[in-house]
Amino acid sequence: MIKSIAIKFLLLLSIFCGLNIIYTHTFYQSDLVKYAKEDLDIKQSQENTDVYYFGESSNITYAPDDSTQASISSLCNLFYPQLKIVNINKYATHAGIYRHWLKQMDGRKKLPKAIVITMNLRSFDAAWIHSKLESSLQQSMVMSQAYPHLMNRFLLALQAFDNKTVEQREKDMQKQWKTEQLIFDIPFKYKTVREWDDGMANGGHLTPDGKWDMKKIELACHYIKAYAFNLNENNPRIIDFDDISLWCKKQGIHLYLNLLSENIAYADSLVGKELVFLMRQNRDYLKQRYQSENTTVIDNLELVNGHDFIDQNWTTEHYNERGRMRIAKNVAEALKIQFNKAYIKAY
């Protein structure tokens, strides 16, 4: 009986191994392109890359009237023409995905000399953590798990990843806004995002004739939900960045965390000093936690002027060419820690 079971198991194993080989040599590459293009890009570019720039939409978004459509990473490369700076980009990406991208380099002989990773303050908030786009991002990591390629394809087909419904993610987000307590250095009447948002929504801005200014109210509420939080070690993005920092340290790769600019002026004028306090406090937390011999936090939080943000009616890190150039120049200046001899003044 036991011998019969063993024979059947070995037969099934042999069949699976054979199918895995067939899949690997037929559809695997096209599936990687379809579901995990960034993983493939890293594997194919690693031998010739000096610096990786990991980013999301902030890197590649430009204004219609910009004289150049160059990305932040491309503009940064102008300062180092001798270096190969490779951009790996995916919309709505966050630290959890960046951490996964780094794992694609495990076991490789050739590693980059440095890695620049976008640190987007909004990516730490409840709206991004519980975004409806998260299932798609989680799906992108399945094909590169440490299992046989065919098994990963089965897992993808079975949706064996964090695939919560949009309704569940919305529920989780609302719960966090309702229950998570906000901490200020001075007494403040609102204790949670939900309370603050409701307070602003009920006549937080008025027109000159005393009516509710709905455009300002709506935008102010977006700012509250995007930036009203206190960073701590339990935030999932902090956990991811901790792992990223540790991985780079173990590999001997200098890590540059590119903290993006936010529209501080709008946050102040639309919401007030309390929100600006939280934004600056979270910036300081990130710098204190990660600045080290092996990690440089590039503080761009207040670098870009409000009028250089492309989206004037939403909370994004999308800049016109002046904004992108300022960010790129700051990143280039930071890279001089390692590459001072290769630096040239580009603009």
Each residue's pLDDT tens digit, 146-157: 899 989 998 988
Nearest CA to 113 out of 297, 293, 253, 296 is that of 253
Digit-by-digit pLDDT tens for the chain (347 residues) are: 666 666 666 778 888 898 889 989 998 999 989 999 999 999 999 999 999 999 999 999 999 999 999 999 999 999 999 999 999 999 999 999 999 999 999 888 899 999 999 999 999 999 999 999 999 999 999 999 889 998 999 898 888 889 999 999 999 999 999 999 999 998 999 999 999 999 999 999 999 999 999 999 999 999 999 999 999 999 999 999 999 999 999 999 999 999 999 999 999 999 999 999 999 999 999 999 999 999 999 999 999 999 999 999 999 999 999 999 999 999 999 999 999 999 999 88
What is residue 3's predicted lDDT score, i.e. its pLDDT?
A: 64
Q: Quote the radius of gyration of the chain (alpha carbons, Å).
A: 23
- How far is residue 166's CA from residue 169's CA, in Å, rounded to a whole number? 5
CATH fit for domain 36-125+181-342, picks 3.40.190.10, 3.90.550.10, 3.40.50.1110, 3.55.50.30: 3.40.50.1110
Read off the DSSP letter of residue 49. Answer: -
- CB count within 10 Å of CB 141 equals 22
CB 119 within 8 A of CB 291: no
Inter-residue contact 74 to 87 (CB < 8 Å)? yes
Residue 180: per-residue pLDDT: 98
129 φ, ψ to 5°? Answer: -60, -40
Tell me, what's the pLDDT at 244?
A: 98
Global confidence as pTM = 0.94
For residue 75, give the nearest of 342, 330, 302 by alpha carbon. 330
Nearest 5 degrees, angle CA 105-CA 120-CA 283?
115
Tokens 């948002």 -> residue: 197
Separation between Cα atoms, residue 134 and residue 92, nearest integer Å: 9
- 59/87 Cα distance (integer angstroms): 9
Task: Using the Cα atoms of residue 148, residue 149, residue 150 and residue 156 in order, give the sign of their dihedral.
Answer: positive
Q: Which of 208, 295, 200, 302 has the alpha carbon at shortest distance from 256?
A: 295
**Cα 9 to Cα 24: distance, rounded to the nearest angstrom:** 22
Structure tokens at 49: 């890359």
Q: What is the DSSP string of 146-160?
A: SS-HHHHHHHHHTT-
Q: pLDDT value at position 98?
A: 98
Please state whether 273 falls in left (phi above 0), alpha (psi between -120 and 50) or beta. alpha
Identity of the amino acid at 184: F
For the four alpha carbons of 208, 213, 217 and 218, in that order, the dihedral sign comes to negative
Nearest to 300 by CA among 20, 56, 72: 72
What CA–CA distance (Å, rounded) separates 87 from 331? 14
Q: In what order do the strands lie in the sheet with 85-89?
A: 85-89, 51-55, 114-119, 254-259, 295-299
